[in-house]
Amino acid sequence: MKKRILTGDRPTGKMHIGHLIGSLRNRVKLQYEYDQFVMVANVQALTDNFHNPEKVKESIGDLLCDYYAVGIDYDVTTVFIQSEVPQIHEIFIYLANFATVQQLSHNPTIKTELAQKGFEKSTPLGFYIYPIHQAADICCVKADLVPVGRDQAPMVEDCRELARKFNQTYGVSVLHEAQALFGASRNLPGIDGNAKMGKSLNNAIYLADTTEELRKKVFMIKTDPNRIRATDPGTVEGNTIFIYHDTFNENTAEVEDLKERYRRGTIGDVEVKQKLYDAMERQLGPIRERRREAEGKKAELLERVIENNNRVRAIAQEVVDQMKDAMKIRFS
């Protein structure tokens, strides 16, 4: 039997090429090797967007189109919506007995995000508890593996520990101890060179961007700030435009040639950018096409996902029943 993977996204906006490189491409590969579940984490999205439910709702449709566009195969991958699997919340409540407040308050991700969101003095409880809620997500589908970046390894380790504590306390092996799956996922800087790409940073290229928008944004990409004229020698290493070339331009000979001339100061930025635009268009053009197609059948995609929820609920209910058996609180 194939091992099961759980992954997912918070529906808080359209997906960008950072997502494509960081996770989506990897999922397209993983879906044929594993039994892949992709969760649309709308309950989690609401924890810091509860004042704006319309945005979360709209973004679900966007996510489904983005998934379709990049090649997530809805016949192979089980895409489901978090809020449609209430068993997750039940699992959360029982796992919460095995987590401590101190553990959460020292969680580095929570600490960083609280600071970023200015939540230090008034932290919504729903947001604060989400690392444990994530453990419930993972347990609810009996996931064996969770594809994450290296920085998220502690999150998966915390989840394993919770599952282990539950199993040990009741002398059972009810909860899967999921493992992190480190993939080929890479981090892509924003067009302004910022290490993170994001909507709020206004430095993202979206999968839904038109070819004109793509072109405009490619020509805005940050290059070597010390290179004033085309005849100045430039630095390639850590240069955003070449990170993009390395990521998107499959013509490696061309990339090597561009780098060579950039270093010597025998090429203008315009040529480097034009070639990047051409390369990105070759990759993003077909995705954009499929995305347009997906927009036309958004309702169909949503229906498909709502059907999947039945399958997920059945798995999650099994987990809940087994947890309740272990805790001697199963009556029916």
Interacting span for a second copy (CB under 8 A) from 123-131, 216-224, 250-258, 271-279: 123-131
12 part of the interface to a second copy, by CB under 8 A:
no
- Contact present, 208 and 288 (Cβ < 8 Å): yes
Nearest to a second copy of 34, 94 (CB atom): 94
Q: Which candidate, 91, 95, 83, 85, places its Cα nearest to that of 41?
A: 83
87 part of the interface to a second copy, by CB under 8 A:
yes
Give φ, ψ of 71 to 5 degrees: 110, 15
Ramachandran class of 265: left when φ > 0, alpha when ψ lies in -120 to 50, beta otherwise = left
227 part of the interface to a second copy, by CB under 8 A:
no
- Contact present, 233 and 265 (Cβ < 8 Å): yes
Nearest to a second copy of 20, 162 (CB atom): 162
Q: Please report, for residues 35, 56, 173, 183, 266, the alpha-carbon distance to residue 39 in angstroms, rounded to integers and kept in the order given.
A: 13, 14, 24, 18, 49
Interacting span for a second copy (CB under 8 A) from 30-38, 122-130, 140-148, 204-212: 122-130
Taking the complex as a whole, the smallest distance from the CB of residue 59 to a second copy amounts, in Å, to: 11
d(CA 102, CA 121): 17
182 part of the interface to a second copy, by CB under 8 A:
no
Interacting span for a second copy (CB under 8 A) from 70-78, 117-125, 142-150, 230-238: 117-125
Give the DSSP letter string of 214-282.
HHHHHTT----TT--STTS----TT-HHHHHHHHH---HHHHHHHHHHHHHT-S-HHHHHHHHHHHHHH
Taking the complex as a whole, the smallest distance from the CB of residue 101 to a second copy amounts, in Å, to: 4
What's 143's DSSP letter? -
139 part of the interface to a second copy, by CB under 8 A:
no
Q: Which of 57, 117, 216, 264 binds a second copy (CB under 8 A)?
A: 57
306 part of the interface to a second copy, by CB under 8 A:
yes
102 part of the interface to a second copy, by CB under 8 A:
yes
Kindly list the residues in this chain that would bind a second copy in the complex (CB under 8 A).
42-43, 46-47, 50-51, 53-54, 56-57, 81, 83-84, 86-87, 89-90, 92-94, 96-102, 104, 121-129, 132-133, 169-170, 302, 306, 309, 320, 324, 326-329, 331-332
